[in-house]
Each structure stands twice: as structure tokens, then as C-alpha cells.
Amino acid sequence: MRALAISMLFTGTLLVSPLASAGPVKGADGQTVEIAPPKRVVAINSSLVEILFGLGKGGTVVGTDVGGNFPPEQAKIAKVGHPYHPSVEGIISLSPDVVLASQENLDAATAAQLRGARIPVLVLENSSKEGVAGLKRRIDAVARLFDIPEAGQKMTREIDQRLSELNKRIAATKTKPRILFIYAHGPGEAFVYGRDTGVHVLIELVGGQNAADFTTGTKALSAEGMVLAAPDAIIMLHRSLEAVGGVAGALKLPGVALTPAGKNSKIIAVDDTVRWVGPRFPLFADSLFTALHANARP
């Protein structure tokens, strides 16, 4: 009888396990995750949270970092710390079936700690430098993890359609404005973003040229650098613009008033999450395009 029970258990394992799993999904760090569609997810990186909600799996998110603001439901989700320094203890305390994180948010040591605690970790491509192509691959990976590939394909089609419509508007303008992004916590601390950043992706999506493409990643703002960059428009996060005292405060940042953007008060606020390329990027790009081609503020 015992032999029969063991045989049934073994046979059941062989039959049920492959069917219960959505199939192996290989992460950007080379590690593969093969689990049943998860019911409890910790997602590090606001773009991943937006992907999960967009795929109809927002209800599985039991934890995330403090960097996101969309959708409104994410405000009620438990927080596990800074997006670049999530708390291992905080994540483990939520008993997730899987942790989803973008490469820039979860280093190898932190991922190893979580895996050591027997928590599967799926590391997705860097969300701030792989552009829309990388975004689509991340959507596909998440959809396959939940065994809903059709939902992922639908999301990527919608992104393509919105960008196609935007490209028609860009083609009609025949201009390529120089755009600079300033990240500021306040009047005394500001940085510009060069290549390999989500902001660089956004600027290219609207048909512009990153005026800070002389550098990669972030660089401290200087008056000399600002004058040499000579942006036609400056974009800042809503919260950054608020932190420096609005447009009037932004014009007082080093060198800004000497640029074409400063002289025309072309300071445009953008969504606080644009540093990570996510599903709403086509909408962000459309709004920015409209603002760029509106008349300069008085």
C-alpha cells in the first residue's frame, strides 16, 4: 500500500508539476525561474508594477518600492524601501512567490540573498536604457511567467500603435529640438541625464536630441555645461520643478537663464516616473511632444 502511495505521489509530481508551471523564463542575469503563475509578487521598479496592472495582475502585487505613483492602487501596497536599495528583510517578510526586479534596481548580491531564502527572483532588463524594445521584452517575460502571453502581445501592440501615431506627428514637424533633462532635489543639487537613461529614450521618442548626450548616465549640473548644451527646452519631474520653486526657480539654476530654453521659459514638467521606461511612455511622449510644440510660456 505504501509502495502504491509513493508511486501515485511520484507519478502525480511528474504529471502535475510541468502543467502547473508556466514554463521557464530566463532572466537578464542568466538565472531561470520556473514556477506556477504567482499569486504573491514583490515588484521592484515602477515600470514593472505598471506592467503587472496592465496585464490584469495588479492584485498579485504585495510589495513594491517607494518610487512609483501609478496606478493609484499602488499607494496601498506595502513598500520595501528605495528603488535602488530595497530591503531584503522587508521583501522576505511579505512571503512572495517571486520577486520581479529590473537590473538597475537589484544587484547580484541582493538577488543571491533572496534566492538563499528560497525566494525565486526574476531579473528583467535595465528599464532605463534598453528603450522600447527592452520594454517589450520585459512585458513578454512577465506575461510568460503568468502564462498569459496573449495579454503581453496585446500590450505591446497598443504601444506600437500609439508610437506609430506619434511618429506621424513628428514627421510633419521637420524639427529636432535639443532637450535637456534636469533632476533636482532642490535649488542646490541638480543633475543632467545623458545616454543610457529612460529620459534619453523619451527625448528620442518625441523626435528630439538629448542636449546632454555628451555624457552617459547622470552628471552634476554646471553653468558652463548648461551653456554648452544650449537646450531649446528643459524637462523636469513634477516634483523636481516643485522642489526648486517652479519655473521661476528653475531659471535660477546654474546657467539655465543663459540657454534658449531659459530665455523662452521653455521649462516643461514631466511625470515623476519617466526615468524608467514603462507602458505609459507613449503617453508621456505624446504629452511632451504637444508641450514642445506649443507656444513658449510668457
Q: What is the pLDDT of residues 201-245, one digit of tens each?
A: 999 999 999 999 999 999 998 899 999 999 999 999 999 999 999
CA pair distance 150, 100, nearest whole angstrom? 20
Query: Would you state the pLDDT for residue 295?
Result: 64
- 289 within a domain of the structure (yes/no): yes
Instruction: Say whether pLDDT at 21 is over 80.
Output: no
Instruction: Say whether pLDDT at 291 is over 50.
Output: yes
- 107 within a domain of the structure (yes/no): yes
Instruction: Say whether pLDDT at 8 is over 90.
Output: no
| Digit-coded pLDDT (tens) for 194-212 | 999 999 999 999 999 999 9
For helices 198-205 and 281-292, the axis angle rounded to 10 degrees is 60
Share of the chain above pLDDT 90, in %: 82
CB 128 within 8 A of CB 274: no
- 11 within a domain of the structure (yes/no): no
Query: Would you state the pLDDT for residue 20?
Result: 54
Closest-CA residue to 139 (of 121, 151, 123, 126): 151
Query: Would you state the pLDDT for residue 5?
Result: 39
Query: Would you state the pLDDT for residue 6?
Result: 37
- Tell me: do 209 and 133 sit in the same domain: no
Instruction: Say whether pLDDT at 27 is over 60.
Output: yes
- Tell me: do 232 and 133 sit in the same domain: no
CA pair distance 80, 56, nearest whole angstrom? 22
- Tell me: do 224 and 264 sit in the same domain: yes
- Greater confidence, 20 or 64? 64
- Tell me: do 190 and 147 sit in the same domain: no
CA pair distance 77, 41, nearest whole angstrom? 11
Closest-CA residue to 258 (of 226, 292, 214): 226
Pairing of β 189-193 and β 218-220: antiparallel
Q: Which of 76-80, 91-95, 171-175, 241-245 has the lowest mean pLDDT?
A: 171-175
Radius of gyration of the chain (CA): 22
Query: Would you state the pLDDT for residue 174?
Result: 80
pTM, entire model: 0.86
- 7 within a domain of the structure (yes/no): no
Domain containing residue 119: CATH number: 3.40.50.1980
What integer best gives the mean pLDDT of the chain? 90
- 6 within a domain of the structure (yes/no): no
Instruction: Say whether pLDDT at 257 is over 90.
Output: yes
- 279 within a domain of the structure (yes/no): yes
Host domain of residue 116: 25-163
Mean pLDDT throughout 264-292?
95
Instruction: Say whether pLDDT at 15 is over 80.
Output: no
Question: What does the buried/exposed string (b/e) look like for 206-229 if buried means 16 or more CB atoms within 10 Å of the residue's CB?
Answer: bbbebbbbebeebeebeeebbeeb
> Where is the domain boundary, 118, 133, 163?
163
| Digit-coded pLDDT (tens) for 69-82 | 899 999 999 999 99
CB 237 within 8 A of CB 268: no
Query: Would you state the pLDDT for residue 129?
Result: 81
CA pair distance 174, 50, nearest whole angstrom? 33
Query: Would you state the pLDDT for residue 23?
Result: 77
Instruction: Say whether pLDDT at 126 is over 70.
Output: yes
Mean pLDDT throughout 151-171?
96
CB 136 within 8 A of CB 161: no
